[in-house]
Structure 1
């Protein structure tokens, strides 16, 4: 399928328990900014929810959250944490229209093959209600590749990523970057994207 990398999904199938249960530094500054852009009690779709930590935080803030992940094994881990079903959803199977006030995609669309990313972002835009907010984060780079675990990453530059979003189709598109880490323990330059659908 165009938006799926089998080797990456295989990694999460094998490592789901370890990945979902790891201790990680949780910095909610961007989640707070995302929440502030939503109406009270608004509807949120989380793509690639992993172990469910961000969905848990959004639920605690009173939002109507639909957590999803492309890995059945990670979806099961998240369902245990959240005490509710978590849908197994591949990005390319998203097929909603004007359904969500916000879509949260933390460190997941970075696994979408470069050629498929613009179409996936288009599906996200269609699923947002007018004026809705979309957050996604990516490991920055200049060319697609794999990490030491064999996971695929699209490794975009800010300019490449702006083109994948088709900036003219959004009311506002902000990209900022910082240094952080990840499961591989390597210092990582991250790109953070906030996009707002036309009202």
Structure 2
């Protein structure tokens, strides 16, 4: 792919399929990871749900007693999430994030995996900047080793474990970097191997 910050076809898919996507639900086996992630946060922490989709995870974060800011690049999905949450959802691409030390944690489930490889280090650097010192990041990626598209024509960066670790290292000063692997599936219903990343922004 040529160097660019986002994939227009992927964004268009989520706008066109927003209602169907929301109705299909999450098949990535991430619910346990969300609970474990939240258990590591201080009470009342401010969490950015980056790529919030239909808002189901943002709702769970709110119900657990945390402050949440939801953001998605798809206006269609953001509208659904806003109805679910009863509050506005920011509509912005990841390359438009300019927040500085604003969040205690960032939850980025199945969202950064759509960032073109040419731009992923820059986007992770923006996430690093948006976190407060000591802030925690969770991000999940479909694993692979080479970028590509699925049968729905959505772009994926498909990193290997080593590639993901290298992207993180190049994007800023992080500590306690953990990369786990698990099976699951996605919206297309096909079996998928997932990489789950957690890291702390250095003080």
Normalising by structure 1, we get a TM-score of 0.96
Distance 1:158 1:87 in 2: 31
Find 2:68's aligned residue among 55, 65, 68.
Answer: 65
Unaligned regions of 5+ residues in structure 1, if any?
none
Distance 1:171 1:178 in 2: 22
Determine whether 1:56 maps to 2:59.
yes
Find 1:44's aligned residue among 40, 47, 52.
Answer: 47
Tell me the residue number matched to 1:187. 191
Determine whether 1:111 maps to 2:120.
no
Unaligned regions of 5+ residues in structure 2, if any?
none
Structure 1 residues 1-199: aligned runs within 5 Å: 2-25=4-27, 27-166=30-169, 169-199=173-203
RMSD: 1.4
Secondary structure, aligned partner of 1:13: helix
Contact kept, 8 Å, 1:92 with 1:120, in 2: the verdict is: yes
Residues 68-121 of structure 1, C-alpha deviations (whole Å, 9 max, x = no match)? 100011100111111111110110011111110000000000000001000100
Distance 1:178 1:103 in 2: 20
Which stretch shows the higher mean deviation, 18-27 or 148-157? 18-27
Distance 1:10 1:111 in 2: 12
